[in-house]
Amino acid sequence: MWKHVRHTLGVSQRRLMLGGGRRQPTAVDVDRRRPVSTGPPLPAVLVDQLRGTWYTSPWNCQSGGTLAMYDIRSLKIQWASLREQLGARGADVPWDEIDTLLQDHRTQLAHTETLRHRRKQGSDNVARLQRASQPADAAIADMRALGDTIGRHEEQLREIETQLEAHALRIPNVPHDTVPPGPDASRNEEVRRWGDPPSFAFTPQPHWALGESLGILDFKRAGKIAGARFAMAVGAGAQLERALASLMLDIHTRTHGYTEVLPPCLVNQDAMTGTGQLPKFERDLFHLRDDPYLLIPTAEVPVTNLYRDEILPDHVLPIRHVASTPCFRREAGSYGQETRGLMRLHQFQKVELVAFTTPDESYAELERLTRAAESILQALELPYRVVTLCRGDLGFAAAKTYDLEVWIPSQSAYREISSCSNCESFQARRARIRFRAGSGKPDYLHTLNGSGLAVGRTVIAILEHYQHEDGSVAIPKVLQPYMNGIERLTASPRHG
């Protein structure tokens, strides 16, 4: 369904978040008193091009649709500056087509307004003729014909708006001023390090070799059951994954004040659109064939959408949630990369942190969330570093991201184990999550998320960091109570 929305969206200028500097929040006035009418479906060619044939436009969904980060009013005002701000980050956005559509919209709207003015004048003339008891049939016929013409122009306007809204959902978030420039991960900037990489008197084995020799990882049977890029943990391996998730949840809830939730692992299309997975990343998602549900790629999706379509009082903020869920990703386009082991799977376990806060506090919250994720690595005594992602490596919905990279001995390299992001109001606008300060007008809050941590990748780090020359693996001290006192993993009998 269409909702008629008024926006007063000015050109926001980002300022450095240093010395308490804050970017002023944007004011958006949503008028829910206007009538609701049914909009046209997306043209088939646009559906095929932008969303995939199975995906239906969120602007026609029963729950009221999704408000794009960039509405038509803001695109008209900010089109050129937005294109410049995004630069290469917006390389796949059809800017020229958007510009053409905006021009068409201006022309069509001006013409429609002229016709509406003529209709008002004609209606006044009909009323005058009727009051004077003069023939008005011809004037009434003219007004009916004019009404039909206006209706056709309004239909064309709706079609243009539908296409603009579809394009708007594919425009990424604008990076914060403190995000470093750069085209790819090679330009990410290191912020800090913790711990020293271990040195071995032997050549360290990769985690998959250790896991198979210990009898705690079975990739062959997982492949038989499901196919490539699946793994099965067995015995102490399964216990290790469960122990890690429990440790992470306990630290985040008891030490950092997060409230645990256990959300659905199947979500609807509105939820995926709200957090930014749809429509742009449809190829990376698993969806059901006969039902409009998708498997979550991260708990960020259901947890962020807990407050979709709500206005929260400011006194409940910040809200901090943590969830441990399985995650499902097709990893489309990544085949041939890291096909061995646990690094890149279709299904994996992850503990996710999600926070909701006011615009004034969101960058302080980003630092807090990142430190919470770091505390897990410190508790496990795993060396890591924190890097700020450059513009070219930044995720679609993020305004700023810190990656935590843990040291992997077999690769002699730091590898990502968590991404902690401030999405500012990007997701809140798409999911219509607002807050109200006192009796003031509602405004969009800021959402943040980060892995706290990816459980499988933590298993990788533990197996490789704590390995011994005989192939056994020590259990970190903080984890031993969760492992029923087991201090070392040794080879166990294989089941066939």
Q: Other C-beta atoms within 10 Å of 318: how many?
A: 18
Distances from the Cα of 139 to the Cαs of 115, 147, 199, in angstroms?
A: 15, 12, 93
Distance CA 149, CA 192 (A): 65
289 is an active site residue? no
Distance CA 268, CA 292 (A): 6
> How buried is 335 (Cβ within 10 angstroms: 0-12 exposed, 13-18 middle, 19+ buried)?
exposed
Q: Which one is catalytic: 57, 419, 421, 425?
A: 419
Distances from the Cα of 458 to the Cαs of 20, 401, 462, in angstroms?
A: 35, 20, 6
432 is an active site residue? no
Q: Which one is catalytic: 329, 330, 391, 434?
A: 329
Q: Other C-beta atoms within 10 Å of 29: how many?
A: 12
457 is an active site residue? yes
Q: Estimate to the nearest angstrom the gap between the alpha carbon of 453 and the chain centroid.
A: 17
Q: Which one is catalytic: 89, 429, 430, 457?
A: 457
97 is an active site residue? no
Contact (Cβ atoms closer than 8 angstroms) between residue 473 and residue 462: yes
Contact (Cβ atoms closer than 8 angstroms) between residue 39 and residue 5: no
Distance CA 308, CA 102 (A): 29
Contact (Cβ atoms closer than 8 angstroms) between residue 194 and residue 374: yes
Q: Which one is catalytic: 154, 331, 381, 416?
A: 416
23 is an active site residue? no
Q: Which one is catalytic: 344, 371, 385, 436?
A: 344
Q: Other C-beta atoms within 10 Å of 454: how many?
A: 26
Q: β-strand 259-260 against 319-328: which pairing, if any?
A: parallel
Active-site amino acid positions = 329, 344, 416, 419, 457
